[in-house]
């Protein structure tokens, strides 16, 4: 064969196995030696991610994929990289492995198996197993004191566990978690040695030290976790030194159970990437890292257990830097993470986190139409959604059930928090709000058109809480109920605008506290409605205080006005706030009579495993 005939033939042979369609397919029945077509799919998502370029799409077929996917290339504005499910298939990404080893009896009811990778979470037959702990957790409610013991914690690291009698150094190497004093945030330390009733902890998280011990230490609750000696209950587990220990249900051979072992944090690593879309994929014991990313989109995903049990150096996890230079990368309690700029997470269900549900940093990112629930099992300064940075939009989400706050927007400026339904917080901690900020120039951030309700904290249980040294927030058209303080602006409070809010079933419509010499400065309080006084501010107009506001159905959360409400036409015009009113003047409160009422919350529903 002549040389000039050989060259074209070689080119044909090289490209005969290539996939040049821009569409890649992945199947558990495939092979990474295939070309990624529908007929010859890859076996791993990572294989596709290593080959895709701008404009390509990866279709993932049904099943569980034990991977951490890291795309090699970026997309561009007109041609993003897209990862999505194939047709109506159900796809799960798990950051870990499926256990296929043979169990052997260790002692008593405990079995063991060799497993060299660190285990962060264990799932048995699709359900979360509990890390070995003392006292035992008796139910699945992680935002309660069930499974905590009365303790007395001291600044030197000693913790007395009441009614505990154990041998010397029984708990050496365990982690000790405390929520003591005024129960603002939990602390954590590692047990160096123990006596019958006391453990001594080192490596303690701030502020578990001599700083203000009356706030953080003393009487409270605690537990010990992640130690073999705490492994004494069915469906508990412990991993150490290449060995996984587990107690199966009574009479059950663990070899007959299905084990998923979480060994990492992220199912997708988009750190620093641009124009990548992840759509309609389920993450189980897995999360997504889009830190330092740009123009990436997470859409329609269900993300269960985004953050496993973690340790931390500071219980107040965001005390670093300012709104223009703050980085969330230093904290291990992040949930689904979006930072960088111009990223979006939307239409997602996020649930069951030891830390945040969603963690937002950077600038101009958006969280929209997400249902985020059951977060902050650590009882630290985590939340369903935590936002730092600037210019974000947190819109039309439902966020509920957390040990501390629902939405933390501390060190976050020029951010819109609108049309959200926030409820059921303060289940373990105290001195908090459903929304919470501290030492932050809001930069005219708007907190507006939100339903804010049911703060269960024992002491300071606020709805919208702008703590000391906050400034320049515009708080309008919110409905706040079942809170001790509806709107809380601690001193110094500067340049806040409090307009057209409704507060009901609250002990106080407003509240403030500050050290001597601090003041409320230029705080406008206009067009608000409650049965309690609107009395914290410098300018007051158009507010209505009445015991009979004629709501449609306040008992069931409907705070629209009836035609005979004394709030109708009692407000004043505020440019940019009260447009579109009917009658002679705007109404007081969050809803205008005769105008289609605004609605808050997400349309996303809870995702349940079958």
pLDDT digits (tens, 9 = 90+) for 530-579: 999 999 999 999 999 999 999 999 999 999 999 999 999 999 999 999 99
Structure confidence by residue, pLDDT tens digits, 579-602: 999 999 999 999 999 999 999 999
Longest dimension (CA), the chain: 100
What 3-state class would DSSP assign to 372? strand
Quote the CA–CA distance of 198 and 242 in Å, as a whole number. 29
Residue 4 is predicted with a pLDDT of: 45
At 397, phi and psi to the nearest 5?
A: -105, 155
Burial state string for 431-459 with b = 16 or more CB within 10 A and e = fewer than 16: bbbbbbbbebbbeebbbbbbbbbbbbbee
Across the chain, what does the average pLDDT equal?
Answer: 94
Q: Taking residues 349-364, report their average pLDDT.
A: 97
Quote the CA–CA distance of 424 and 405 in Å, as a whole number. 9
- CATH architecture under which domain 300-561 falls: 3 Solenoid (2.160)
Say if residue 10's pLDDT is above 50.
no
The number of CA neighbours under 13 Å toward the Cβ of 242 is 2
- Domain boundaries for CATH 2.160.20 within the chain: 300-561
Residue 168 is predicted with a pLDDT of: 97
Q: Taking residues 485-491, report their average pLDDT.
A: 98
Residue 427 is predicted with a pLDDT of: 98
**Integer CA distances (angstroms), 520 to 9, 470, 493, in order:** 82, 10, 5
Q: How confident is the model at residue 229 (pLDDT cuts 50, 70, 90)?
A: very high
Beta strand ranges found along 42-109 (DSSP E): 57-60, 63-66, 81-85, 91-94, 96-98, 104-107
Burial of 121 (0-12, 13-18, 19+ CB in 10 A): buried
Tokens of 573: 């015009």
Q: Are 499 and 477 a contacting pair, CB within 8 Å?
A: yes
CA 437 to chain centre: 16
Residue 268 is predicted with a pLDDT of: 98
What 3-state class would DSSP assign to 91? strand
Structure confidence by residue, pLDDT tens digits, 425-447: 999 999 999 999 999 999 999 99
Q: How confident is the model at residue 413 (pLDDT cuts 50, 70, 90)?
A: very high
Q: Taking residues 350-365, report their average pLDDT.
A: 97
Instruction: Return the closest-CA partner of residue 479 out of 381, 561, 594.
Output: 561
Residue 609 is predicted with a pLDDT of: 86
Structure confidence by residue, pLDDT tens digits, 153-189: 999 999 999 999 999 999 999 999 999 999 999 999 9
Residue 101 is predicted with a pLDDT of: 82
- Higher-pLDDT residue of 36 and 12 is 36
Say if residue 2's pLDDT is above 80.
no
Q: How confident is the model at residue 6 (pLDDT cuts 50, 70, 90)?
A: very low
Instruction: Return the closest-CA partner of residue 93 out of 215, 277, 268.
Output: 268
Beta strand ranges found along 115-258 (DSSP E): 121-124, 127-128, 130-131, 133-134, 149-153, 158-161, 175-180, 187-194, 198-202, 218-225, 236-240, 243-246
Q: Taking residues 522-528, report their average pLDDT.
A: 98
Residue 21 is predicted with a pLDDT of: 76
Q: How confident is the model at residue 304 (pLDDT cuts 50, 70, 90)?
A: very high
Say if residue 3's pLDDT is above 50.
no
Burial of 109 (0-12, 13-18, 19+ CB in 10 A): middle
| pTM for the model | 0.95
- Higher-pLDDT residue of 510 and 328 is 510
Beta-bridged to residue 455, according to DSSP, are 425
Q: How confident is the model at residue 34 (pLDDT cuts 50, 70, 90)?
A: very high
Structure confidence by residue, pLDDT tens digits, 563-574: 999 999 999 999
Burial of 394 (0-12, 13-18, 19+ CB in 10 A): buried
Instruction: Return the closest-CA partner of residue 118 out of 257, 237, 269.
Output: 237
Q: Are 472 and 466 a contacting pair, CB within 8 Å?
A: no
What 3-state class would DSSP assign to 526? strand
Structure confidence by residue, pLDDT tens digits, 75-84: 999 999 999 9
Quote the CA–CA distance of 199 and 224 in Å, as a whole number. 9
In the chain, the percentage of residues whose pLDDT exceeds 70 is 95
Q: How confident is the model at residue 329 (pLDDT cuts 50, 70, 90)?
A: low
Structure confidence by residue, pLDDT tens digits, 375-409: 999 999 999 999 999 999 999 999 999 999 999 99
Quote the CA–CA distance of 294 and 363 in Å, as a whole number. 10
Quote the CA–CA distance of 100 and 258 in Å, as a whole number. 9
Quote the CA–CA distance of 102 and 114 in Å, as a whole number. 8
Q: Taking residues 492-499, report their average pLDDT.
A: 98
Residue 209 is predicted with a pLDDT of: 81
Quote the CA–CA distance of 604 and 610 in Å, as a whole number. 18
Phi-psi region of 347 (alpha: psi -120 to 50; beta: other; left: phi over 0): left
């Amino acid at each position: 064969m002549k040389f000039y005939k050989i060259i074209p033939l070689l080119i044909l042979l090289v490209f005969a196995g290539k996939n040049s369609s821009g569409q890649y397919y992945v199947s558990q029945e495939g092979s990474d030696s295939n070309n990624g077509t529908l007929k010859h799919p890859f076996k791993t998502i990572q294989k596709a991610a290593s080959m895709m370029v701008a404009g390509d799409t990866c279709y993932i077929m049904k099943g569980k994929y034990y991977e951490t996917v890291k795309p090699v290339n970026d997309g561009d504005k007109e041609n993003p990289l897209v990862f999505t499910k194939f047709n109506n298939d159900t796809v799960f990404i798990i950051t870990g492995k499926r256990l296929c080893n043979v169990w052997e009896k260790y002692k008593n009811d405990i079995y063991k198996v060799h497993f060299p990778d660190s285990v962060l979470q264990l799932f048995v037959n699709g359900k979360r197993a509990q890390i070995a702990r003392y006292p035992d957790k008796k139910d699945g409610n992680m935002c309660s004191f069930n499974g905590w013991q009365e303790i007395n914690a001291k600044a030197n690291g000693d913790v007395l566990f009441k009614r505990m009698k154990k041998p010397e150094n029984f708990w050496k190497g365990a982690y000790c978690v405390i929520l003591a004093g005024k129960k603002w945030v939990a602390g954590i330390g590692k047990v160096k040695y123990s006596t019958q009733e006391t453990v001594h902890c080192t490596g303690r998280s701030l502020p578990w030290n001599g700083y203000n011990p009356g706030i953080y230490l003393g009487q409270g609750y605690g537990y010990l976790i992640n130690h073999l000696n705490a492994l004494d209950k069915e469906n508990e587990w412990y991993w150490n030194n290449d060995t996984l220990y587990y107690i199966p249900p009574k009479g059950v051979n663990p070899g007959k159970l299905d084990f998923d072992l979480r060994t990492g944090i992220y199912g997708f690593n988009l750190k620093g990437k641009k124009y990548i879309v992840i759509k309609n994929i389920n993450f189980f014991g897995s999360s997504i890292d889009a830190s330092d990313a740009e123009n990436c989109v997470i859409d329609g995903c269900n993300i269960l257990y985004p953050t496993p049990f973690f340790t931390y150096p500071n219980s107040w996890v965001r005390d670093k830097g300012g709104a223009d230079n703050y980085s969330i990368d230093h904290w291990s309690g992040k949930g689904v993470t979006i930072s960088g700029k111009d990223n979006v997470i939307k239409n997602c269900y996020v649930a069951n986190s030891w830390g945040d549900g969603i963690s937002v940093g950077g600038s101009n990112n958006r969280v929209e139409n997400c249902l985020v629930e059951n977060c902050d099992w650590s009882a630290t300064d985590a939340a369903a959604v935590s936002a730092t940075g600037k210019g974000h939009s947190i819109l039309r989400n439902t966020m509920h059930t957390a040990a501390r706050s629902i939405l933390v927007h501390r060190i976050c400026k020029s951010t819109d928090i609108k049309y959200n339904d926030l409820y059921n917080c303060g289940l373990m901690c105290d001195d908090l709000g459903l929304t919470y900020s501290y030492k932050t120039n809001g930069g005219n951030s708007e907190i507006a058109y939100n339903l804010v309700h049911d703060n269960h904290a024992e002491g300071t249980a606020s709805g919208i809480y702008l703590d000391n040294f906050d400034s320049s927030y515009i708080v309008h058209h919110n409905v706040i109920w079942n809170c001790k303080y509806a709107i809380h602006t601690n001193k110094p409070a500067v340049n806040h605008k409090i307009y057209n809010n409704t507060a009901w079933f609250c002990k106080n419509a407003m509240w403030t506290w500050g050290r001597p010499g601090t003041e409320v400065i230029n705080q406008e309080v206009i067009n608000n409605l409650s049965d309690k006084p609107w009395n914290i501010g410098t300018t007051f107009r158009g507010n209505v205080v009445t015991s009979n506001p004629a709501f449609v159905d306040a008992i069931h959360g409907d705070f629209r006005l009836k035609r005979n409400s004394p709030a109708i036409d009692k407000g004043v015009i505020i440019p940019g706030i009260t447009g579109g009113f009917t009658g002679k003047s705007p109404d007081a409160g969050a809803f205008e009579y005769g105008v289609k009422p605004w609605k808050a919350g997400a349309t996303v529903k809870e995702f349940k495993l079958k």
